[in-house]
A and B are shown apart, each in its own frame.
Chain A
Amino acid sequence: MLNLNDIMETITMIQEEDLDIRTITMGISLLDCADTDIDKSCEKVYNKIYSRAKDLVAVGETISKKYGIPIVNKRVAVTPISMLVAVSGGDPVKYAVTLDRVANDIGVNFIGGFSALVHKGFSAGDAELIGAIPRALAVTEHVCSSVNVGSTKAGINMDAVALMGRIVRETAKLTQDRQCIGAAKLVVFCNAPEDNPFMAGAFHGVGEPDCVLNVGVSGPGVVRAALAKASKDATMDEIAELIKKTAFKITRMGQLVGTEAAQMLNVPFGIIDLSLAPTPAIGDSVAYILEEIGLEKCGTHGTTAALAMLNDAVKKGGVMASSSVGGLSGAFIPVSEDAGMIAAARAGALSIEKLEAMTAVCSVGLDMIVIPGDTPATTISAIIADEAAIGMVNSKTTAVRVIPAIGVEEGKELEFGGLLGAGPVMKVRKESSATMISRGGRIPAPIQSLKN
């Protein structure tokens, strides 16, 4: 028997509180597309992605209409392209152009997997791919790139960290005329998950099946609204309980959509990613949840504790609602994509140092942060190293997606538009980290990696 209140609650969540399925992402293995001739390899890549994902957008829209729930993004993640480059050689940008073309033809808004995994060292194809990232992101529109530079098991590849500092800068520089957007599509990971449906860090890991459908849910607005209705005297454990219940409902909806989409596309259902992913829409903000809990501004003292509780409660609620949880699963804190974070950064309440502390207790890391255009590559590398260290030691995923605002005057902002939002330039430390970064080598895996 359907309950009147339940029906109204669902409709309010969708209509007024921005509840949506953030993304259905099809993971496609390209291992069988490798060919020693790069042009043949590209042709196979195009054909495989097209044949598997051609109905993805249509299926997403059909389900969206059936349940009245928006499915905001339909995306594709592929095997790290460095593995194909290892076989074919040649200019990796050709693969990026192929991915962009097929993304256009099937109608997805992002395609992830222009990636390399170099946490322990570079193998064939890795250095070539990383070197090509700035050009690849400059000449394509839909392609996203990621590089894994560290893991709890392997430590941190400091040569790769040094290299990525330069690559991030160069990527921003080559797209200087378009708000440095290239850097917004490039993520540097530690402990990158192989089944993440969210961009820009999605790729299809080698341990995954040939083709799989992963789902990312959203719903910061719903959580905030639930907290707004709670009594101001509610204790923190009562608040955590409320978040759990809300996360459960959100996740159940994701599970329904994911299984149905996978069935219609005739591919196995992979995972549901339990993330609270904000959008620039007013109200759909993780920062506002923290403020609803009782902070004057996100970024002030207490933010890390509130975020830790939020992140944990989301997981506890979500994990029972789904048969298979994976990906990043936690609260996201991308500055430019979150109206509350943008406001806090503009007001000076939120600093990079505070964000770094927050990344130790929530999913992902320093995300969508605009930094001054004159930030040296070595400083970007040092930011990456700090973040990777947090991930490595805490056995969690961390990432860096910073956008050097090259050619933008101080005090101005970068406007990416759409889901990527806009962000004020945030201050970074002026003191140099160049000597440490120039050492290179590897930070050995921490003692907690020895679990066997």
Chain B
Amino acid sequence: MKAVVTVIGNDMVGILAKVSCALADKNANVIEMTQSVLDGYFAMIVVINIEEMTCTIDELQTYIKSVVEGLEVHVMHENIFNSMHRI
């Protein structure tokens, strides 16, 4: 089982580090990561394995939000993307 974490907002030092630490804290294994900064606007998408994660998806979202305040954070189960964009 996988989930997708997206973090969007104004760029600043340490976002990647903070989010990675948060994921490690909750035992969520990172499978894939893509990140870009365009005109000072930071966008990161992380695909994680949630099988051995120690919290629920919404708890993880709240936790990441608390470590990168002011950024938009979403954590969603992969099924929603698979069902909407795959036949």
Contact = CB atoms under 8 A, between A and B. Distances in A.
Interface stretch (B11-19, B20-28, B63-71, B73-81): B73-81
A2 B48 CA distance: 12
Given A67-B77, A68-B75, A68-B76, A11 B83 contact: no
Interface residues on A, range: 20 to 34
A447 B66 CA distance: 66
Given A249-B85, A252-B84, A11 B74 contact: yes
A6 to B, nearest CB: 4
Given A9-B85, A253-B84, 6 more contacts: A2-B47, A6-B81, A10-B76, A68-B57, A68-B75, A252-B83
Interface string A1-20: 01110111111000100000
Contact of B80 (A3, A4, A253): A253
Interface in B7-57: 32, 34, 45, 47, 56-57
A68 B56 contact: no
Contacts of A8: 6, 45
A145 interface: no
B57 A10 contact: no
16 contacts: A2-B47, A2-B81, A8-B6, A10-B76, A65-B56, A65-B57, A67-B76, A68-B74, A68-B75, A68-B80, A69-B76, A249-B85, A252-B84, A253-B80, A253-B83, A256-B80
B45 A256 contact: no
Interface of B: 4, 6, 32, 34, 45, 47, 56-58, 61, 72, 74-85
Contact of B6 (A7, A67, A256): A7
A255 interface: yes
Nearest to A63: B77
Contacts of B81: 2, 6-7, 10
A255 B6 CA distance: 24
B43 to A, nearest CB: 8
A229 interface: no
Nearest to B32: A2
B83 to A, nearest CB: 4
Judged by DSSP, the binding face of A is helix
Contacts of B83: 252-253, 255-256
Interface in A105-139: none
Q: Which of B45, B79, B84 has the most chain A CB atoms closer than 10 A to its own CB? A: B84
Nearest to B76: A68
Interface in A1-48: 2-4, 6-11, 15
B60 to A, nearest CB: 10
B85 A66 contact: no
A68 B81 CA distance: 11
B79 A249 contact: no
B58 A65 contact: yes
Contacts of A68: 57, 61, 74-76, 80
Given A11-B6, A65-B56, A3 B77 contact: no
Nearest to B31: A2
B56 A4 contact: no
Contact of A7 (B45, B58, B72): B45
Contacts of A65: 56-58
Contacts of B34: 4
B56 A2 contact: no
A3 B61 CA distance: 21
Contacts of B75: 68
Contact of B85 (A6, A67, A69, A255): A6
Interface string A414-450: 0000000000000000000000000000000000000
B76 A249 contact: no
A67 B84 contact: no
A3 B85 contact: yes
A431 B72 CA distance: 58
Contacts of A10: 76, 80-81, 84-85
Nearest to B79: A256
* A-B pairs, 10 with minimum CB distance: A65-B58, A68-B76, A6-B85, A256-B83, A67-B80, A249-B84, A252-B83, A66-B77, A252-B84, A66-B57
